[in-house]
Amino acid sequence: MLAAVVGAGAGLFSVLQGAIARTMQRVLFDLPLGARLSAVPALPMTVLLVLPMGGAVLAAFSWATRARTRRMVDAVEANALHGGRMSVRDSLIISGQTILSNGFGASVGLEAAYAQLGGAVASVVGNAFTLRRADLRNLVGAGTGAAIAAAFGAPLAGAFYAFEIVIGAYTPTALAPVIAAALAGTLVAQQLGIHPYVIDAASTMATESHHYLIYAALGAICAVIGIALMRAVGFVEAGTRRLRLPDWARPAVGGMLLIPIALMSPQVLSAGHGALHADLAVGAPLLFILTIFLAKCAASIVSLGFGFRGGLFFASLFLGTLVGHLFAGSMAAVVGHDVIDPRNAALVGMAALAVAVVGGPMTMVMLVLEATHDFAATGAVLAAVLVSSTIVREAFGYSFSTWRLHLRGETIKSARDVGWVKTLTAGRMMRRETKVMRADLTMAEFRRQVPLGATSRAVLVDDAARYAGIVQTPTAYAEGHDPQAPVGGLAINKEAALAPAMDITEVMARFDASGADELAVLDDDRRVLGLLSESFVRRRYAEELEKAQRELFGER
């Protein structure tokens, strides 16, 4: 019931956000009623000045909301690191940035805004009902899936988006809420006049067995293009920061750079909804398709690299159709006749490139199935997306959302819940009641203060109370030691130590590297905070891992 309510709310917000962005485009670019920005044949230079103006407005909005100084969390990061907890304020800011970017014509999609508010609705409702961590994560996934389902009119695609991209796994406990939310979101969107995402791309050529190998090759090409596109966005973003452009100037400069690209063709602007349908329906020369492909890549890279906010979901769908057309057309030019159906190739390329960039192979398969109702084309898409996703996973390891997190310093590669790993730090696990002794004590004095059997080890410090190693009590009682020699001469692990902020995986790696059974936890001044044993750390990790697996599969 909660998921259905969340799904309805997510669907409503998706419709509102889309309506706001399209209204902005219609007013700013003087579009006819019902026209799509990327489908208009040409735009004058005076109108395209809206692009840098939009960059300036976005910068002002970000400054006013302090967005540039805040670390805002999206649905994927929330589920992976924070147990599904999302900030309403941050979500509204992200949504506002995305709507402004798309509404002023930048080459970004609204999918990030849809998913953000859908997840935020779920997080607010889940926290109000004090759901446990696993259930809250499922509800956040359901909310984002419902938002995508409403935007595309595709409940199955929305449901698999939730499973693959936001929750990070197919789980029995998530099945009912995710499906309920996706259906509710789609129903609300349809009641508000949003039509299902339908592609009229009837094939004129039967799909034969050898075609699947050809489509698999297309999937491999899309994987390479997707990796290059994601790396290019990161490269340009890093480059703009090295140029020391002020944050307020970056989107405006990006808008200026978009003008010559848009003069070439307005198809590069916005998400590309209108352009995608036009290119699927009407054949075009290969040189023209290649030009649009390169221009759209450049526009998306510039938009995201220079600070516009949005996603690559729909841009990757559009780019994929162009790659499919180029692939089929190139083969036909070499052989002298069509080897595969160009429209099928466009659909396959659309899904395969989207999988490379966004992730979620079954999400794209379901999107094509629900958009075309063509099972033969869906089979070809399945072959290509599996190849594409496998290559990207093995060669790159990130989707676009997790790649951006990686560039920011996070280590997550999917929405699987690793937040519990981050919370198990050395500072939380250490034992504070640790025997601390001066390293310059004589062996005889150490034996007097620490009787054999009283403790297995003592931590040594120097005259400034800084860590000087660990001495094992039985070693100090071994024969052959000079009673007047300082006990510090027996210290081990003088350099190997732990910081209190280290998470459990870093702690285990430090134990593996040092070969120690116990390590001291030190502050920034190398003063002793506590002691941690390897056996305890391994046991805690196993306990938490088992607990996470029980929650994942719904065991109580």
**pLDDT-based confidence at 14, cuts 50/70/90?**
very high
Q: What tokens does 71 get?
A: 């670390």
More confident residue, 284 or 236: 236
- State percent of the chain over pLDDT 90: 41
Q: In whole angstroms, what is the distance from residue 151 CA to residue 112 CA?
A: 11
Residue 46 has pLDDT above 80, yes or no: yes
Smallest CA-to-CA distance from 265 within 199, 342, 322 is with 322
- Position 68 scores a pLDDT of 55
Q: How far is it, in rounded angstroms, from Cα 393 to Cα 388?
A: 9
Q: Are 392 and 222 in contact (CB under 8 A)?
A: no
Residue-level pLDDT at 50: 94
pLDDT computed for residue 513 by the predictor: 86
Mean pLDDT of 189-201: 77
Q: Is the dihedral of CA 176, 181, 182, 183 positive or negative?
A: positive
pLDDT at 282 > cutoff 60: no
User: 256 falls in which pLDDT band (50, 70, 90)?
Assistant: very high
CATH classification for the domain delimited by 419-545, as one of 3.10.580.10, 3.30.2320.80, 3.40.50.1580, 3.40.50.300: 3.10.580.10
- Return the minimum-mean-pLDDT range out of 66-75, 381-390, 474-483, 499-508: 66-75
- What pLDDT, on the 0 to 100 scale, is given for residue 120? 95
CA distances (Å), origin 531, targets 93, 483, 505, 514: 43, 27, 17, 15
The pLDDT value given to residue 409: 63
Instruction: Answer yes or no: are the C-beta atoms of 458 and 435 closer than 8 Å.
Output: yes
Residue 555 is predicted with a pLDDT of: 46
For position 421, what pLDDT does the model report?
66
Mean pLDDT across 291-304: 93
501 pLDDT band (50/70/90 cuts)? Answer: confident
Q: Which overall architecture, per CATH, does domain 2-407 show?
A: Orthogonal Bundle (1.10)
List the one residue out of 297, 289, 519 whose CA is nearest residue 426.
519
Rounded Cα gap, residues 536 and 55, in angstroms = 53
Tens digits of residue pLDDT in 52-69: 999 999 999 988 887 655
What's the pLDDT at 556? 41
Are 182 and 366 contacting, i.e. CB atoms less than 8 angstroms apart?
no
**Whether 406 contacts 400, CB under 8 Å:** no
Of 218-222, 242-246, 357-361, which has the strongest mean pLDDT?
218-222
Let me know if the fold of 2-407 is the same as that of 419-545. Answer: no
Mean per-residue pLDDT over the chain, rounded: 86
| Bridge pairing between strands 528-533 and 457-461 | unpaired
- The mean pLDDT of 168-192, rounded to a whole number, is 92
Contact indicator for 345, 379 with CB cutoff of 8 Å: no
pLDDT at 105 over 90: yes
Determine the distance from the C-alpha atom of residue 280 to the mean position of all C-alpha atoms in its chain, rounded to a whole number: 29
What residues contact residue 214 under an 8 Å CB cut-off, 6+ apart? 331, 339, 340
- DSSP, collapsed to helix, strand or coil, labels residue 524 as coil
Whether 281 has a pLDDT exceeding 60, the answer reads no
Average pLDDT of span 398-419: 68
- Answer yes or no: are the C-beta atoms of 551 and 131 closer than 8 Å: no
List the domain boundaries for the chain: 2-407, 419-545
Terminal Cα distance for the chain, rounded: 21
**Identity of the highest mean pLDDT range in 41-50, 297-306, 533-542:** 297-306
Please compute, for residue 41, the number of CA atoms within 13 A of its CA located in the half-sphere on the CB side. Answer: 0
Q: Which residue has the higher pLDDT, 67 or 111?
A: 111
Mean per-residue pLDDT, 237-265: 89
Structure-model confidence comparison of residues 37 and 125, the more confident one: 125
